[in-house]
């Protein structure tokens, strides 16, 4: 039995979940080589939708440990990938390479810009994440289109988050983002999306609106209403 066959057998035994030592052992064996057969097998796991979520996310992140070989491979594969969910995962992995010393983040940002117009909710979502990490002030206008018009409530929230992320790295973007965010909170009807956009305004401006940026609880209508009143007055 060859190395890839052994890995496939190993993966089949743990794909529904395993303990942490086993997960790390599999990860180390998975990235022991950057030859085409190892890269192809690693990539094939991204299409295994029934893999236990924590294990799946761990395996996806292991591409980053392949450094430039992993980034180069994914930039090639994403261009021919037909499954939008897999494509979204690959884009997210590519976005994480921004924090490597040597990277191709400019190409990844261009892909994210392209996928912002995808018909797939999932792919638009990940494109917003990645453009937030890799974009700049010139992306604010395109992001605003999703902030106002995306049919997915969560993506309207993510559009606000993307503006916030860009502001952390490009302070010039703040002046351009706030007018769009002002319009968004005036027209947003979904309370969860509204809360997320208000959190972005809070973090961009540094002005406390009484909302937690790390809360996973359902929105508190009273807190959101108070935050909306404060933000509206602040941005008037």
Convert the pLDDT of each residue in 127-158 to its tens digit. Answer: 999 999 999 999 999 999 999 999 999 999 99
* Structural domain includes residue 126: no
Count structural domains, the chain.
Answer: 2
* pLDDT at residue 195 in the model: 97
* Structural domain includes residue 234: yes
Q: Which of residues 82, 104, 126 is at a domain's end?
A: 104
Cβ 178 vs Cβ 205: under 8 Å: yes
Query: pLDDT for 189-223, tens place per residue?
Result: 999 999 999 999 999 999 999 998 888 889 999 99
Q: How confident is the model at residue 10 (pLDDT cuts 50, 70, 90)?
A: very high
Whether 81 and 156 share a structural domain = no
* pLDDT at residue 36 in the model: 97
Query: pLDDT for 76-125, tens place per residue?
Result: 999 999 999 999 999 999 999 998 877 899 999 999 999 999 999 999 99
| Residue 161, Ramachandran bin (φ over 0: left; ψ between -120 and 50: alpha; else beta) | alpha
Residues in the chain: 236
| The two three-digit tokens of residue 146, written as one number | 């999703």
> Using CA atoms, how far apart are residues 82 and 19, in angstroms rounded to an integer?
32
For 176, the domain range is: 136-236
What are all long-range contacts of 35-39, with beta carbons under 8 Å and residues at least 24 apart?
A: 37/3, 37/4, 38/3, 38/4, 39/66, 39/69, 39/70, 39/73
pTM to 2 decimal places: 0.94
* Structural domain includes residue 113: no
* Structural domain includes residue 74: yes
Give the 3-state secondary structure of residue 191.
helix
Whether 25 and 65 share a structural domain = yes
Count the neighbouring beta carbons within 10 Å of the beta carbon of residue 120. Answer: 16
* Structural domain includes residue 131: no
Whether 89 and 148 share a structural domain = no
């Amino acid at each position: 039995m060859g190395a890839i066959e052994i890995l496939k057998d190993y993966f089949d035994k743990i794909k529904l979940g395993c303990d942490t030592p086993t997960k790390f052992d599999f990860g180390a064996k998975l990235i022991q080589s950057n030859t085409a057969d190892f890269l192809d097998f690693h990539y094939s796991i991204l299409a295994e939708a029934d893999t236990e979520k924590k294990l799946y996310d761990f395996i996806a992140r292991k591409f980053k440990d392949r450094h430039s070989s992993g980034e180069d491979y994914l930039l090639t594969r994403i261009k021919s990938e037909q499954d939008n969910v897999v494509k979204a995962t690959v884009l997210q992995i590519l976005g994480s390479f921004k924090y490597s010393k040597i990277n191709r983040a400019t190409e990844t940002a261009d892909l994210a810009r392209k996928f912002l117009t995808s018909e797939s909710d999932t792919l638009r979502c990940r494109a917003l994440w990645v453009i937030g990490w890799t974009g700049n002030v010139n992306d604010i206008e395109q992001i605003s289109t999703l902030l106002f018009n995306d049919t997915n409530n969560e993506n309207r929230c993510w559009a606000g988050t993307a503006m916030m992320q860009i502001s952390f790295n490009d302070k010039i973007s703040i002046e351009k983002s706030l007018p769009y965010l002002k319009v968004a909170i005036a027209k947003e009807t979904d309370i969860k999306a509204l809360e997320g956009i208000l959190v972005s305004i809070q973090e961009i401006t540094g002005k406390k609106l009484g909302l937690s940026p790390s809360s996973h609880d359902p929105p508190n209508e009273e807190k959101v209403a108070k935050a909306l009143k404060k933000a509206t007055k602040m941005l008037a």
